[in-house]
């Protein structure tokens, strides 16, 4: 099994404890060996892209074409502020 480079080992200072059944651990170790990786590298190589995808989907808003056009139109021609918004802005300005 390939070991992580010294630089990668230094960068990985935090620990994650992972609970698995004996069979799950054996399967992960076998897969890591086939890929010539240590277990940590194998798990991180496969888990990090999935984690990035989840975070990306959660943090990015994807608009339909119709909604994109509407947002651009509103940016170019914003509506007049509502009276409640103007009143809130005046109250806030009075505080600061």
**Mapped to the 3 state alphabet, what secondary structure does the chain carry?**
CCCCCHHHHHHCCCCCCCCCCHHHHHHHHHHHHHCCCCHHHHHHHHHHHHHHHHHHHHHCCCCCHHHHHHHHHHHHCCCCCCHHHHHHHHHHHHHC
* pLDDT confidence band for 5 (50 / 70 / 90): low
pLDDT digits (tens, 9 = 90+) for 25-78: 999 999 999 999 999 999 999 999 999 999 999 999 999 999 999 999 999 999
What pLDDT sits at residue 4?
A: 53
pLDDT digits (tens, 9 = 90+) for 80-90: 999 999 999 99
Between 79 and 95, whose confidence is greater?
79
């Amino acid at each position: 099994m390939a070991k992580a480079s010294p630089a990668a080992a230094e960068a990985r200072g935090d620990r994650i404890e992972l609970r698995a059944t004996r069979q799950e651990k054996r399967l992960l170790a076998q897969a890591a060996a086939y890929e010539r990786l240590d277990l940590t590298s194998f798990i991180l190589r496969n888990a990090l892209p999935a984690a990035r995808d989840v975070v990306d989907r959660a943090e990015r808003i994807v608009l339909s074409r119709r909604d994109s056009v509407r947002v651009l139109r509103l940016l170019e021609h914003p509506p007049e502020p509502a009276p409640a918004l103007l009143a809130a802005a005046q109250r806030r300005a009075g505080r600061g």
